[in-house]
Chain A
Amino acid sequence: DAGVIQSPRHEVTEMGQEVTLRCKPISGHDYLFWYRQTMMRGLELLIYFNNNVPIDDSGMPEDRFSAKMPNASFSTLKIQPSEPRDSAVYFCASSFRFGGNQPQHFGDGTRLSIL
């Protein structure tokens, strides 16, 4: 089984540009999570979806961030306009929530650098 697939693996762009990160979850998983990881703050949950519906976006730092899940096999995280402080590694994870205590399966992340 293929794992969670994220693209691109690396993104370098200039401040003010729009950035779109992509994620393909594991087939059959009904939960999808977006995280951001930095040295200072560790792994922070930004937003999560259940059956393609956003459930909790309280971790999204600002209105510049938005996420969508148009179908069960694809999600995007968009930053517009981007700022240098958005530089981080962004992870997507998925899980099959049966019994409420299933592990999360992570992609290998997108390393984002905003110049």
Chain B
Amino acid sequence: SQKIEQNSEALNIQEGKTATLTCNYTNYSPAYLQWYRQDPGRGPVFLLLIRENEKEKRKERLKVTFDTTLKQSLFHITASQPADSATYLCALESGGSYIPTFGRGTSLIVHP
């Protein structure tokens, strides 16, 4: 069956360090993968999209990689700040429908 896996344990890091979050998937052949940020009491907010033919995408302090062989995406936040503390969700398009399916998200806590 199709599965999207994100680490359910919170990631705790020190301010200024690079945070790396993982999204693994099985039984998908996604054409693209998206990353969203969700703050408590708010809806998810789109951050980045990466296509299957792209290895890496950057936006300011954010970097996303997409390895279709490993079936994995890594999401990096460099020079992390306490304001980056949130839950980060990955989403994969499923079966050519263009409708993304979401992972359950990983909580990031950046300590000052």
Contact = CB atoms under 8 A, between A and B. Distances in A.
Contacts of A91: 43-44
Interface stretch (B20-28, B45-53, B61-69, B77-85): B45-53
A103 B32 CA distance: 11
B99 interface: yes
A48 interface: yes
Nearest to A44: B102
B32 A101 contact: yes
Contact of B42 (A100, A101, A103, A108): A108
Contacts of B51: 101
Nearest to B30: A101
Interface residues of B, number: 21
A42 B103 CA distance: 7
Contact of A42 (B41, B42, B43, B105): B105
Interface in A61-115: 91, 93, 97, 100-101, 103-109
Given A101-B51, A103-B49, A109 B43 contact: yes
A53 interface: no
Interface string A1-43: 0001000000000000000000000000000010000000011
Interface of B: 31-32, 34, 41-46, 49, 51, 89, 93, 98-105
7 closest A-B pairs by beta carbon, nearest first, are: A106-B43, A103-B46, A42-B104, A100-B98, A43-B102, A101-B32, A108-B43
